[in-house]
Amino acid sequence: MDIEDSVRIRHMIDAAESALRFVKGRSRADLDRDEMLHFALIRAIEIIGEAASRVSVEARSTSPGVPWPEIIGMRNRLVHAYFDVNLDILWRTVQDAIPVLLVQLKTIHLS
């Protein structure tokens, strides 16, 4: 893997791990009450998506199981429709999708 791609994957891993730390021991109701949690999760997902958009097409093609377009699309949605973030989707993404993605990214990074 190209060094730039490796750096971007590392950024994705770091942001994903941060998001999981932010929600550890927290509930969905906490997201409604805690503006800092809300903003922190959005920022982590934005970083994941921005880094994903900068991973080369060649590197992405070697990992077809990673939902690259969806990751990048979510980043775009959060950035451009910041006024209309669905907190249920945000929470489910962090709880359900990020752990799976993290395993995939670590596998890619080690290869």
Which positions are catalytic? Answer: 75, 80
Cα 104 from Cα 87, distance rounded (Å):
24
d(CA 96, CA 103): 12
Token couple for 29: 């109701």
C-alpha span between 106 and 30 (Å, rounded): 29
Sign of CA dihedral 64, 69, 75, 77: negative
Question: Which residue in this structure is represented by tokens 């971007």?
Answer: 8
